[in-house]
Amino acid sequence: MPTSKTTTKKKTAKQSTKKSAVKRKPATKSKSSAIETFSSAVEYLLEQTDFERMRVVQYDETTFKLDRMRTLLCALGNPQDKVALIHVAGTVGKGSTVAMLSAMLRGNGYTVGEYTSPHLTDIRERVVVNGEMISEESFTDILKDVVAAARKEKVTPTFFELMTAIAFKQFADQAIDIAIIETGLGGRLDSTNVITPLISLITKIDLDHTNILGNTVEEIAREKAGIFKTAVPAISAHQTEEVTSVLRECAEELRTEVKVIANDIEFSARFGGGTDGKQHTRICVITEDSQYMHIPVPLNGEHQATNCALAISAIDQLKKLGYEFDDLDLYNSLAKTNIQGRMETVWERPKIIVDGAHNPTALQTLIKSIGAHIPYDSMVCVFGCCQDKDVEGMLHKISLGADKIIFTKAQGNPRAAEPKILQRQFTEISGKMTQIADTLPEALEIAAQAASRDDIICVMGSFYLVGETKKHLRALAAKR
């Protein structure tokens, strides 16, 4: 266990030629028949092509084949067409937006599904109904059905395609009222982009996955806007002028409309002290039909204001589609929003905070938010990231906010940057002293030795690192 140096109601009507660079083995009967337990199901999934973990990905229609996904879903009876859906894409804020939107829907009596990624400690975190992960039994049974369907159609789904099919089938089997579907990578070619949702949502767009999605925010915005559908209303978080222009152009091409927070939807945010002496953010969102005034944002950080506004705007759009909400229930349920891996305190003495922030903007916002919400003397940063991210940009941000830095890497992520390389790059940016650790547990021990009573340890840079931290600390707690 790390120790510091100091001891211490309503239902709604149902809406109703070129070879790939990635070689994959076809699904076989022997493998699918071996899926009998949850552990064997997970083992099978981990053997499949997983673009989340690959260092180099060929991003085009030869690798990301939506027709393969459509064929698979058709063989399963097109479960995605049996559930009302909301589609969410963007660079940062997807998980927070999904969490807040889901909380408000559930608080008003709707049964809600959530499909998100990545998971932190349990693969079932990706498929949730009313806050509860899919059961191990259902997960196993549905995967067997999906693999059998793939074999029948002679298609070889990727890890993410299999997970997406599991989610759609689970939501259809449970006859839920509405599901919120988060894209995995980009939007245009993402496996989830075979649906016709009620609403398309775009969170903040920034530089990320530049080696795949594009080198400019405009290129990335066009990929994210690939989830837009003809006549399906779209809502976007507040964006730069360049990104807003691209989103409007894409919407016009598909004969739909995108409303942008703070441009087309009146929005304001106020960050300041509350009666409890803590810092809070309150927002006002004014649409054509409603006014949502002085709403407390349930998640810490000024950046959550626009995510909250996006979730509220989605609720407002659902009202126009016939969904019924009680405003008091909306506000009360929003206040109960909970999400893992975002400025989450996972240990008290010493205080350890984890956050999956994995690009420069997210890291800058995280460090600023920690300073506004959590009192401390010094920040000890445990940092690791994927090598295909904007590493230099992230190192610049942590050099401005962290007092002591330990570079490490997640063992379960083959895309992880080597700690020695991170340290060398950081030395060129800052003169601060740093240390390296080959493993996350070692890094936490070093951090604990460096942290005094009023210091905090922050693990950041990768959801893989966050997940390993939570698993490690959970195991330590179990031994106590």
Per-residue pLDDT of the chain (480 residues; tens, 9 = 90+): 555 444 444 444 334 333 344 444 444 444 555 899 999 999 999 999 866 655 555 555 666 779 999 999 999 999 999 999 999 999 989 999 999 999 999 999 999 999 999 999 999 999 999 999 999 999 999 999 999 999 999 999 999 999 999 999 999 999 999 999 999 988 999 999 999 999 999 999 986 655 556 568 899 999 999 999 999 999 999 999 999 999 999 999 999 999 999 999 999 999 776 555 566 799 999 998 899 999 999 998 888 999 999 999 999 999 999 999 999 999 999 999 999 998 999 999 899 999 998 888 889 889 988 888 888 999 999 999 988 788 999 999 998 889 999 999 998 788 889 999 999 999 988 878 899 999 999 999 999 999 988 999 999 999 999 999 999 999 988 887
pLDDT at 57: 55
Distances (CA, A) of 301 to 144, 361, 369, 370, 457: 42, 13, 5, 8, 18
Main-chain phi, psi angles of 398, to 5 degrees: -70, -25
pLDDT at 61: 62
- How far apart are alpha carbons 53 and 67 in whole angstroms? 23
- How far apart are alpha carbons 240 and 218 in whole angstroms? 10
pLDDT at 7: 40
Give the rounded distance of the alpha carbon of 269 from its chain centre: 23
How does strand 379-383 pair with strand 344-347? unpaired
pLDDT at 22: 42
Domain residue spans of the chain:
29-334, 344-479
- How far apart are alpha carbons 323 and 317 in whole angstroms? 9
Amino acid in the structure at residue 457 = I
pLDDT at 326: 95
Q: Could you count the other beta carbons within 10 Å of the beta carbon of residue 469?
A: 28
- How far apart are alpha carbons 205 and 91 in whole angstroms? 5
- How far apart are alpha carbons 193 and 181 in whole angstroms? 10
- How far apart are alpha carbons 243 and 236 in whole angstroms? 10
Token look-up 């064997």 returns 40
Distances (CA, A) of 467 to 139, 310, 382, 460: 21, 27, 13, 11
- How far apart are alpha carbons 178 and 277 in whole angstroms? 38
Would you state the structure tokens that stand for residue 142, as one six-digit string?
A: 């549905």
Q: What share of the chain is helix, strand, coil (3-state, %, to 5)?
A: 40, 20, 40
- How far apart are alpha carbons 63 and 315 in whole angstroms? 35
Name the CATH topology of 344-479. Protein-Tyrosine Phosphatase; Chain A (3.90.190)
pLDDT at 413: 81
pLDDT at 374: 87
On whether the 29-334 domain is CATH 3.40.1190.10, my answer is yes
Would you state the structure tokens that stand for residue 463, as one six-digit string?
A: 């959801």
Would you state the structure tokens that stand for residue 138, as one six-digit string?
A: 């259902």
- How far apart are alpha carbons 410 and 286 in whole angstroms? 43
The H or E element containing residue 241 is: helix 241-253
- How far apart are alpha carbons 72 and 149 in whole angstroms? 6
- How far apart are alpha carbons 306 and 302 in whole angstroms? 8
The H or E element containing residue 89 is: strand 84-89
